[in-house]
């Protein structure tokens, strides 16, 4: 007899509309643009996650955990004063957002 264990996994990527619903924003376009700009300028900040996927002809998909980290620490990240890394916060972010 074999025992199987099922683990639920929530979605990792979300569209602009999903981000708006999760973070209670009516129009998060400027915030998402700032997030994309920051992710391009600082590519190692969100490792091991890819912060967003740009699809041709479709909406951009955003990593929920990477965006949540940016959303919570936007001012500190842009000022360059955040001492806690994304990798250290990953466990807490998973508990809160998944």
**Which DSSP string do the residues of 48-62 spell out, in sequence order?**
TS--EE--TTSPPEE
Q: Which residues, at least 6 apart from 50, have a Cβ–Cβ distance to it below 8 Å?
A: 63, 66
Across the chain, mean pLDDT equals 88
Crossing angle of the two packed helices 64-79 and 86-97, in degrees rounded to 10: 130
Is 77 in contact with 70 (CB distance < 8 Å)?
yes
Q: Is the pLDDT of residue 38 over 90?
A: yes
Q: What's the pLDDT score for residue 2?
A: 81
pTM of the entire structure? 0.83
Nearest to 96 by CA among 14, 19, 22, 16: 22
Q: Where do the structural domains in the chain lie, given as residue ranges? A: 13-97
């Amino acid at each position: 007899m074999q025992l199987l264990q099922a683990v639920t996994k929530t979605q990792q990527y979300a569209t602009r509309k999903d981000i708006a619903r999760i973070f209670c924003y009516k129009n998060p376009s400027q915030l998402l643009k700032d997030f994309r700009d920051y992710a391009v300028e600082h590519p190692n900040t969100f490792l091991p996650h890819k912060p967003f996927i740009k699809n041709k002809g479709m909406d951009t998909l955003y990593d929920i955990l990477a965006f949540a980290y940016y959303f919570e620490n936007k001012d500190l990240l842009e000022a360059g004063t955040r001492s806690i890394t994304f990798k250290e916060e990953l466990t807490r972010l998973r508990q809160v957002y998944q």
